[in-house]
Copies of this chain bind each other. A is one copy, B any other.
Amino acid sequence: MRLVKVAAAQMGPIQKADDRQTVVARMVELLRKAAEAGCDLVVYPELALTTFFPRWYMTSEDEVDAWFETEMPNEATRPLFELAAASRIAISFGYAERTPEGRHFNTAIMTDRAGRIIGRYRKIHLPGHREVDPARPHQHLEKRYFEPGDLGFPVWRNLDGILGMCICNDRRWPETYRVMGLQGVEMIVLGYNTPATNSHAADEPPARRLFHHRLVIQAGAYQNSTWVVAVAKAGTEDGHPLFGGTAIVHPNGEIVAEAQTLEDELVVHACDLDATRFGKATIFDFAAHRRIEHYGLITSRTGAIPPEQAAHGTKE
């Protein structure tokens, strides 16, 4: 047994007017509870320090940059890092990162038990669009405010295991999990802000949205025999509902713990990293079963090309 007691620290809504200090105080309170529960790792949502600002269309560079952090830790988050280090608890959370060169990323970091940042991930699968789309009841402007991540999908040795990160929409893409699976990942932590309605299909039932969320995290866990810890920002931000569904998924694909509210809530489970071994040694023993010679299109072709336009697949 290699137990990592994880707290998936779901956060309720953050309104546009809420400042960083108020939000970090909530994160500190969740961390305090996790420490009482004897947790080793606390995972917070994507863009944990602010409202999900990509729903707002902005044209002023200053107005945009106000949502970004230029260093981490910074003054606002220092209390969180200090309590984490004092409690010997590793943490992971997402925030909007502005680099010294002025580049903008949707980023997550992970610390070790000493509160040192040992891992940084920048979101690769940015959903949404760049300009206002009048056909949508709400906007989702991630492609406007961020550039795609440039760090790949690394994994890190931490807490006696192999941990990886991804963010929100990354979880819908099997490539995300597989690239980490090929590095032996044992736990993937991810935060998300997912609207409760589909901006392309107002009639999509909320239950189907939650079904898709569970489907992709469960499949990603099972198909790579890894724990997945998926943490929501939930509830209604300035009139825009986000679904919850914070969940911890076993390497066999089953959900072992799930949030009950749309508010600040800890979902705790003691995850045995050795539970990843069975799947990795049997049905998902990649070395025994994968046939990379037939996967070429996955890395050579970005968009779909139907067969009349492509040579591949038209021979018969």
Tell me, rounded to whole Å, the shortest Cβ–Cβ distance linking A24 to chain B. Answer: 24
Contact between chains at B157 and A201 (CB < 8 Å): no
User: What number of A residues sit within 8 Å (CB to CB) of B?
Assistant: 76
C-alpha spacing A282/B156, complex, angstroms: 33
Q: Judge whether A240 is part of the interface by a CB distance below 8 angstroms.
A: no
Interchain CA distance A212-B222 in the complex, whole Å? 8
Contact B223 A153 (CB under 8 A): no
Cβ-defined contact, B125 with A307, below 8 A: no
Q: Nearest chain B CB to A105's CB is how many angstroms away?
A: 13
**A201 and B275 alpha carbons, distance in the complex (Å):** 13
Residues of chain B within 8 A of A278, CB atoms compared: 200-201
**With A212-B222, A253-B212, A306-B162 known to touch, is A312 a contact of B183 (CB < 8 Å)?**
yes
In the complex, whether A66 has a CB less than 8 A from a CB of chain B is no
Closest partner residue, chain B, to A126 (CB atom): B289
A75 at interface, CB cutoff 8 A: no
Residues of chain B with a CB closer than 8 A to A126's CB: 289
The answer to whether B295 and A296 have CB atoms under 8 Å apart is no
- Answer yes or no: A316 CB below 8 A from chain B CBs: yes
CB of A107 within 8 Å of the partner chain: no
Chain B residues contacting A304 (CB-CB under 8 Å) are: 181-184, 280, 286-287
- Cβ of A155 within 8 Å of any chain B Cβ, yes or no, is yes
A62 to chain B, nearest CB (A): 29
- Smallest distance from the beta carbon of A168 to chain B beta carbons, Å? 12
CB distance from A308 to the nearest CB of B (A): 7
Among B155, B298, B308, the residue within 8 A (CB) of A292 is B298
User: Is A78 located at the chain interface by the 8 A CB criterion?
Assistant: no
Does the CB pair A211–B313 fall under 8 Å? Answer: no
Q: In the bound complex, what is the Cα–Cα distance between A208 and B256 (angstroms)?
A: 14
Contacts of A313 in B (CB 8 A): 152-156, 183
B302 touches A287 (CB 8 A): yes
Q: Which one of B125, B200, B216 contacts A282 once the chains associate, using CB atoms below 8 Å?
A: B200
Interface segment, A42-50, A52-60, A169-177?
Answer: A169-177
Complex partner residue of A254 from B211, B219, B253, B280, CB under 8 angstroms: B211
Chain B residue nearest to A225 (CB atoms) is B304
Given the known interface contacts A154-B315, A282-B200, the answer about A179 and B298 at a Cβ–Cβ threshold of 8 Å is yes
Q: A286-B303, A301-B292 are in contact. Are A154 and B312 (CB under 8 A)?
A: yes
Q: How far is the CB of A108 from chain B (nearest CB, A)?
A: 13
For A219, the chain B residues whose CB sits under 8 A away are: 174, 215-216, 218-219, 223
Interface residues of A (CB under 8 A from B): 118-120, 124-127, 148-149, 152-157, 162, 169, 172-175, 178-179, 181-184, 198, 200-201, 208, 211-212, 215-216, 218-219, 222-223, 252-254, 278, 280, 282-292, 294-308, 310, 312-316
User: Which 6 pairs between the two chains have the least Cβ-Cβ distance?
Assistant: A287-B303, A174-B174, A219-B219, A154-B313, A184-B306, A182-B297
